[in-house]
Amino acid sequence: MTIKYTKKYHRDLALFNEWEKLNHPVFEKVSLEEIKAAQTKLQGHIVFPTDPLYNQDRKLFNPVFNPLPYMIIYCAVEADVAIALQLAKNKLNIPFTVRSSGHCTAGFSAGFGALIDVSALNDATVDPVAQIATVGAACPFRKLDPLLDTYKLHVPGGECPDVCLAGYMQGGGYGFTSVTYGMNCDNVIDMRVMLADGTIVTASPTVNSDLYWAMRGGTGGNFGILLTARLQLRPLGDVFGWALIWPLQTDTDFQNGTDALMLLQSQYMLDKLPKELNIQVSLCYQPGIEAGLPVTGPQYPYLMVRGVYVGTQAAGQAAIQPLCNLPGAVTQWTKVDSFVNLNGALLDVPYGLPCLPNNIMPYEDKACRYVTRELTSDEWNGLLRLFVTSPNWTSYFYMEFYGGAINAFPAYPAEGSNAFVHRTAAFNAVLDVFWYDGKTKEQDKAASEKFLADWINYMAPMWNGEIYQNYPQVGQTNYGQAYWGDAQAGLYAVKQKYDPTNAFRFAQDVNHPTGPLPTLPAWLQTAVDQKIDSKIYYR
């Protein structure tokens, strides 16, 4: 049967008929016939602004960002990615961005040029004997985690189930088991990457090892398009999880909260944190301590400590017992369950963190700061006091504790390291602020942004100058040093080698560091000096 009888042929004809009616600026850069030719080769499809689905398709996770791309190119298979790159880069000569889940907190997942959507590249397979997963770039953790759980295997993953591997891993990839197993990028065996010219290369410890180093922590969108990664898995059965809470309303409450933070600091940070123990501390508004309260009514500030212990219930309970014994502490729940179930419960039981009154994603801004030193009692107390000045009930502060396998991984410039440089932190402190549409939207936004700015100023004396690159903020100054530290010179060298025309670019991309380029470590310089190996080593 000829191609003219296929569903794709008739789908393309329908698209062409609609496109012929358009008067779009993109046709000033490339002819309609060239776009038709690209669509004919695509297994996916192209969406223009006149398409009824365009307004939905162009949106990102955070409604703060309002991208208006010339076109959205949906890639159904890997070959589509090369066609999309050719169309955007060589035919249209317009900027392009690549989107898997669209969760970039600074909105870098879309722009005004071509949006290359790879969300269909989301396959995942598991070899339970070798304990290896082969994962597509756009595989979300809501798909990967249950698959791994079938085999009682695990790799650190995103707390939000819609986050996909590509951006998450390339920025480091912190999860609720990272103290035990390291960052997600620390568990990558090798990768397949499409370069700007459509070439697919392998990146591994022995093949294009400089690219392998750079893409594990060097931040997505800089060097090429991740197609698949092979991840080293770990056996993991049921684990122990818990939720502790302290109210923050009276002076006694604030003293109790301060004492809890001081105990966490003295017994649960850095070298004092057992690798089995994964902790997240948060400040959040909740309807109350007990379940079943209306979320549309008043909410109150609380200090919360939640986490996962990779071990038995008895050992986990013993590990957190000093916290449970503190004045004001209330144990909301403890549970032994699969990680998949606990990962959801830790952020949603008995109420969401933050507890939003409806299912509509609000506008969001956030910032984070790494801390390496101990804080004084007054500094901890001031942090609690500042949080309760939030202009609304949706603000959400949290600390992701580091240590264990994260900090034990080789740190740059050691051979065997990767581009994720934040290996000395005690915790990553993060503040999310939110606001909604409505008559007071601009007023609420201004108040929320001021609160975020006040928090940034408060954290300044405690901050070590580094920022987790998976939590970028628009307008961040000196972002290169903050995200990549001394590794940015190496990242720039890798960028020049694998993307010499700077096709992959965005507001906070890898570029020339300020000042003269420092000498790279010998192992990295040797790798950079080698020619790109474009042989196919695995599919």
Contact between 467 and 483 (Cβ < 8 Å): yes
Distance CA 170, CA 68 (A): 25
Distance CA 230, CA 4 (A): 39
Pick the closest to residue 431 from 377, 471, 474 (CA basis).
471
**Which amino acid does the sequence have at 234?**
R
pLDDT of 28:
79
Sign for the pseudo-dihedral over CA of 345, 361, 158, 74: positive
The structure tokens listed for 444 are 């609420």
Is 3-117's fold the same as 124-235's?
A: no
Collapsing DSSP to helix, strand or coil, 14 comes out as: helix
Query: Are β-strands 114-117 and 96-99 bridged in parallel, bridged antiparallel, or unpaired?
Result: parallel
pTM of the model: 0.96
Contact between 507 and 108 (Cβ < 8 Å): yes
Cis ω for the linkage preceding 357 (within 30 of 0): no
pLDDT per position in the chain (539 positions), as tens? 566 668 999 999 999 998 888 887 777 777 888 899 999 999 999 999 888 888 888 888 888 888 889 899 999 999 999 999 999 988 788 889 999 988 888 788 888 889 999 999 999 999 999 999 999 999 999 999 999 999 999 999 998 889 999 999 999 999 999 999 999 999 999 999 999 999 999 999 999 999 999 999 999 999 999 999 999 999 999 999 999 999 999 999 999 999 999 999 999 999 999 999 999 999 999 999 999 999 988 999 999 999 999 999 999 999 999 999 999 999 999 999 999 999 999 999 999 999 988 778 899 999 999 999 999 999 999 999 999 999 999 999 999 999 999 999 999 999 999 999 999 999 999 999 999 999 999 999 999 999 999 999 999 999 999 999 999 999 999 999 999 999 999 999 999 999 999 999 999 999 988 888 889 999 999 999 999 999 877 65
Distance CA 384, CA 35 (A): 56
The structure tokens listed for 397 are 């502060």
Pick the closest to residue 188 from 162, 209, 159, 163 (CA basis).
209
Contact between 498 and 463 (Cβ < 8 Å): no
Taking the domains of the chain in order of start, what are their residue ranges?
3-117, 124-235, 239-473
Contact between 184 and 168 (Cβ < 8 Å): yes
Distance CA 225, CA 97 (A): 10
Distance CA 507, CA 109 (A): 11
Degrees to nearest 5, angle at CA 234 with 313 and 312? 10
Distance CA 508, CA 528 (A): 23
Considering the segment(s) 124-235 as one domain, its CATH architecture is 2-Layer Sandwich (3.30)
Distance CA 354, CA 301 (A): 11
Give the count of beta carbons closer than 10 Å to the beta carbon of residue 43.
14
pLDDT of 538:
63
Q: Who contacts 5 (Cβ-Cβ below 8 Å, separation ≥6)? A: none
CATH 3.90.1170.50 fits 3-117, yes or no: no
Distance CA 452, CA 141 (A): 29
Which strand ranges, in their side-by-side order, compose the sheet holding 45-47?
45-47, 71-74, 114-117, 96-99
Domain at 239-473: CATH code: 3.40.462.20
Beta bridge partners of 246: 303
pLDDT of 173:
98
Distance CA 208, CA 212 (A): 6
Residue with the two structure tokens 């940034």: 456
Backbone angles phi, psi at 164, to 5 degrees: -105, 165
pLDDT of 535:
86
